[in-house]
Structure 1
């Protein structure tokens, strides 16, 4: 009897080793293929977001017709955004380019002297052109290496631009196929799950799908509303770059505190350079305050809620780690992966709470009746 238990434990150990090796291998392949996976991942996200609408329409028409209709709506929304935003952003970028000399003069003539006066640091002396030229002459070899690196980057940027254009052209094609075959892909993946674990995997997949769907759809709406609110508010304050700063801040709201910080930093600098008075700086603060109130008490509770269950520090870490490991693809996948990981962590916590390691010799019925330790009523994230 003991020998059979030992053999079963050894077999279970080898199965865990095999699954671990498979997971490590998949992560390694993902890391190797990261440069070419961005359009596939983005298209898969679009297909996943659009699949519920296709499923609803499929009750009244064929799958292909529903896919064509949803895909056409996506294209129309994209074209509308391009028609409305591209001329506006082009004008804002031209304004930014024209304003750069003014920002440079403000930085050198106002900001740096103010910092030197209060810190005692002689920053301007380090920015003297003659001193910089002397440093370059003394370290010409290093400067030559930097110049070679810059030239190499410029030469590679042409290929990067071609790849970027190819990805854009490929995105609608991939999105259409993901929309059309999403249920087929899910079914084939489900067929590969070991039958002993199918019910558990299905439950976790449904939970992760609910968490991700609610969070991503809600977060996209929050980003859109806040971008419009910030842009309109800064434009009313009178900032020439208000629309650009507001839209960028809206896009950055998916990282906690980064969107509001960009409003304070960039909006404050723009107000000081353009007007140089406290009234317009206070106007930027009012826009920031209104945006925070609307987001905290209206948008996030209504559209997002607590669906993802991740602490803000966990979100920041996930985005930074994804960008460091996999670049843009990692940043794109950071929050979805973190949300799924949080679902798995909750399941692991549940299993641990019912394991022999946690319970010891305590009977399971007494363990279930025991009070929940502090903090366990919150999500694992």
Structure 2
């Protein structure tokens, strides 16, 4: 894909060098852009471990856990000497140990990423990224400012919840994944709904992708993507246009076709995928896997703009070997932005309000609107509401 502009600010977005885009395929409002590797990564392989249709309880650290839908985990297998690694067979249907459908099952997971015997790591796809977002400034106010409730001081942001839609509920996605062609060498895709980038998915090897392609239906998507898929009309297909009047030979036709493919790739990488690839992120290392590193990343929250969270396995040069992303809704972006601004000002409301260019009362009402009103003392919040209703003179 197109590398970052060396003359501009240095982005820290996913480095998709080595993954080339192919012409998109369209089904209604869904557009899939294949990602193809010329050289697959042989010494890291992925396979899915199905958990069935049960609720997952994930322990992220002692005395801290969260409940979520966890349909499967990914298991990464790697070698230490660069020799090819073998991927275990992938089975997407639940095994015989799944609970009866008439009961509500509960499966316990220790950590979102856990080392297993040998050169193997089990991790929960997308949950690495989502847990990083949920844990954003989770401890709450570090200083007991008088405006914060005792609950905020003692418990921080616990409990904290976010909503998402299952891929199977995104209109058109199941049909698109079923009918679209998988290219030779395809190791991933970029998924657009109404030409809004919904998710990026990449794996080391084409065999891994073919096995894991159906798991996109079990991924999580934000409310924006669900609404776009439901409400927006079909998107146009980008078709190649070759001026046949200038074609005199097969060689000229091949050159014209290659030029159209290059033009599409440049347009896609610099325009359609700009919101993911060309912005700054904060990266946190989760686990080392030989020459590879499993990390998750958060954006510099930009209200009213495209924001993605994600997780990646990168090689020693920083190139992406595995990638999954989740596009945040505008309300999720606002929550992340507010928490970042509060943390930057040690959770002092007056200083944070001044930094945002609003009054303290306006900030308090923003916190309530974002779902954080319970963190404020009731009398303080009532005072903010009263000031908000009082007409200015």
Q: Give the TM bin, normalised by the shorter chain.
A: under 0.3
TM-score, normalised by the number of residues in structure 1:
0.22
| Larger-Rg structure | 1
> By percentage of residues, which structure has more helix?
1
